Amino acid sequence: MPATRNAEYGAHETLTPYSDVTTYNNFYEFGTSKSDPARYAGSLHTRPWTVVVDGEVHKPRRFDIDALLKLAPMQERIYRHRCVEGWSMVIPWIGYPLSALLRAVEPTGNAKFITYQTLLDPAEMPGQNDPVLAWPYLEGLRMDEAMHPLTLLAFGLYGEVLPNQDGAPLRMVIPWKYGFKGGKSIVRISLVERQPVTSWMRAVPNWYGFYSNVNPDVSPQNWSQATERRIGDGRFGGLFAPRLKTRLFNGYAKQVADLYRGMDLRRDF
């Protein structure tokens, strides 16, 4: 998947090896173990694939995946990726800003938030037979977050199309938020007026808030978010990699802190 490197938003750090990026995943639609997605995601068929964009828009559309691939120039962006369990990666994603898609459907003045929904198909996604969550998986962003140039609609990584276990054929990447905000295998994006109740908010509201910004001072999951370990660290291997200090907004405070000016980031976690 050819793309032009966008260095403006790059993380100038050692990349996580492709083998780790594609075998150590959270994708509960294929199982709750980190190795389950790579083991079982081969059952997912990503062609044909369509994405509905609707709600508070002037031009609702149903996009074929190939039309989406041509909607805007592809960029490669190296982003940090941080999960609530305390592990992190540095990944060269390929995609384009989500704002390009949203502008194409012309949001109305009532569009305050977006939701994005994963495919619901227990035959192809066997983890959906487990009621660990209320399926289909639903996540969301405030409109200014969705339009921010860092928010990426990703179709590939490491110069190739997304592997199934990483969210093929398209997923969200919001690098200043915890990884569960990055919905995978998306089939619907809806622009809405009210803040949605997302899947993890519904499942464990005391642990998972709507904003889910990386914040080392907030640990609602009952384990500390102050440090992280970088998967694939070559010095000691992933499991025993040294702990790194977690940075506010995952190190992207310069770009996104103004989005939350005046907010209580402990309450609005």
Which token pair is 103? 């502008």
Those residues whose C-beta lies under 8 Å from the C-beta of residue 249, and which sit 6 or more positions away, are 176, 213, 214, 215, 255, 256, 257
Task: Write the pLDDT tens digit of every residue in 43-91.
Answer: 999 999 999 999 999 999 999 999 999 999 999 999 999 999 999 999 9
Q: How far is CA 261 from CA 142, 181, 253, in A?
A: 14, 21, 11
Domain 4-260 is found in CATH 3.90.420.10: yes
What was the pLDDT predicted at 235?
58
Q: What is the pTM of this model?
A: 0.96
Which token pair is 197? 């109740």
Give pLDDT < 50 ranges for the chain: none
For residues 265 and 269, give the distance between their C-alpha atoms in angstroms, rounded to a whole number: 6
HSE-CB for 52 with a 13 A CA cutoff: 9
Which token pair is 15? 């990349």
